[in-house]
Amino acid sequence: MRVMRGPHRDKEAKVSRVSTVNRKVFLEGISTKTARGKEKPLPLEASNLLLLALEATKERKEIFSEEAFKKKEVKKAAEAKAGEVHGERSEPSEQKHKGEAHEHGHKHDAKPHEQKSNTIR
């Protein structure tokens, strides 16, 4: 991870701990001194960090392998071809269903909905 904001900007370190409750990330070697002189890990916002690399575990290698992405692309291409064969066109749903009732009951109007303003007239 690289720190992008704050007093420790441009420092790079590994993640030591993540607090999901407080939504903070703790990095190795980045700490602050307490009033008593004790070193304490500095909690950082995840939005102020840049992920540089991941540890290559067996599961991550499987998830991010080229084969995993190729299989999905082949399936998507096959589904698109099957849709064309059956006479379906790949149009956006708003244009396709204007004025028609959907399976879940609502209709799309021909013109877009007007936004209500909160101003008093």
Q: Give how many domains the chain has, as a whole number.
A: 2
What's the whole-model pTM score?
Answer: 0.50
Q: Is the pLDDT of residue 14 over 70?
A: yes
Domain assignment present for residue 78? The answer is yes
Say how far apart CA 27 and CA 37 lie, in whole Å.
19
Angle CA 110–113–117, to nearest 5: 160
Residue 45 belongs to what domain range?
2-34+41-50
pLDDT digits (tens, 9 = 90+) for 62-110: 888 888 777 565 666 667 666 665 555 555 555 555 556 566 666 666 5
Q: What percent of the chain is modeled with pLDDT above 70?
A: 59
What is the pLDDT averaged over residues 18-45?
95
The verdict on 45 and 68 lying in the same domain is no
The verdict on 45 and 71 lying in the same domain is no
